[in-house]
Amino acid sequence: MNPALHRIAWTVVAARLAAPAAADEPVDRDAWQTIGRAWFRAGDGPLRGAEPPAEYADCGRCHARIAAEWRGSLHGNAWSDPLFQVSYRREPEPFCRSCHAPLSPEREPSGAAARDGISCAVCHVRGGEIYGSRARARDPAGHAVQASKDLANPGFCGGCHQFGFFVLPERRGVARFEGPYVQQATFAEWADSRQAKLGLRCHDCHMPPQRADGGEPWRSHAFPGADSDLLLQAVQVQAQAHATAEGTQVEFTVTNRAGHAYPTGDLFRRALLEVRPTGTPNGDAELRQYLFTRVFIRATGASPTHGPWTSNRIADDTRLQAGETRRLTWLLPRTERIQWVLWDDKMPTPDPRQTAPSSPTRRRALARGEIAVQ
């Protein structure tokens, strides 16, 4: 990912957050349903509207720069992502296919539908018409674009990034359906944030404006997110340590500047803060850890139309919500220095508390440091 892209995104957001507080702007908290679900059906089926014909499969012939950004993005690799494939092979549910390869007409995605994942047509084509945030008349070198303000609304993103667990009905002949317990709530997290009240949208961080050589501007389609260095600017860690009569008092302040919870999204993500004294006799035995994560348990319920069912729900949530600052303290043995690291992890199971044998499938150090004891 291009570091300049992350700087552009965060410059826009930081300037707005640093501005004097204004009156709260109304936030449409239902837009993920009224707008998002009008375009996307989440996990219970493919896209709403007619599937785009084959001629929309090669937008990159004319939009090469945007296509290149998209090809390296999480959207472009939504189906082929190795971690998703491991999870999907364990639970090959239809709603997984509908979200990660929404243009596939088959039970098992293949060809362009699998290769392209969430392609250009998924967001921009319905019923044979091409949509964008601005209208454009057809010219000899291109095609017409129909304007839809929906594409610039966070609710459009919420159509895929806000959904509940799909429940298992106990009554024969009843198909799986979306239950009341939230599995991903990134849109709702944003709606509760200061960013939402200031009018900052998903697009401001994840589709920052671009311009090259004085040409026509466009919005990045690299969709920087959990896989990018955008997190390095969104999560801040401050630490200090003081010698006391009992040992070493360590204080950490962790701040989430993102417009949604950290971590957000799928249930396999967690953050882990590890703190340890250096040069002490017990070494790693003095390690301290704090998990930013969700823990899920089984849940049951009953629907007036579908009967009893079984699902999952959140039992505990220690993540940082949008704009939250959390202070953590530990008493460690006497030492001269403290080392710490904040890990951003992808776990192989939905219960991130597990360690061995469920060690992270993918891990990166989001921040790390060493501090002298005062």
pLDDT score recorded for residue 343: 95
CB atoms closer than 10 angstroms to residue 41:
21
Stated pTM of the model: 0.88
Domain boundaries, the chain: 3-219, 230-372
The answer to whether residues 223 and 75 touch, using CB atoms and an 8 Å cutoff, is: yes
* 51-55, 133-137, 345-349: least confidently modelled range: 51-55
- 337 CB-contact burial (10 Å; exposed 0-12 / middle 13-18 / buried 19+): middle
Task: Please write the tens of the pLDDT for every residue from 3-23.
Answer: 555 555 556 566 556 555 555
Give the residue, 366 or 17, on which the prediction is more confident.
Answer: 366
- Please tell me whether residue 131 adopts helix, strand or coil conformation: strand
Q: How confident is the model at residue 53 (pLDDT cuts 50, 70, 90)?
A: low
Task: Please write the tens of the pLDDT for every residue from 171-181.
Answer: 999 988 889 99
pLDDT score recorded for residue 185: 95
Average of per-residue pLDDT across 37-42: 81
Evaluate if residue 188 carries a pLDDT over 90: yes
Query: What is d(CA 150, CA 120) in angstroms, rounded to the nearest whole number?
Result: 16
Q: Under 8 Å CB-to-CB from 187, ≥6 apart: which residues?
A: 31, 32, 36, 154, 155, 157, 158, 161, 162
CA within 13 Å, CB half, 259? 25
pLDDT score recorded for residue 226: 80
Evaluate if residue 208 carries a pLDDT over 70: yes
Domain 230-372 - what CATH class?
mainly beta
Task: Please write the tens of the pLDDT for every residue from 235-263.
Answer: 999 999 999 999 999 999 999 999 999 99
Evaluate if residue 182 carries a pLDDT over 50: yes
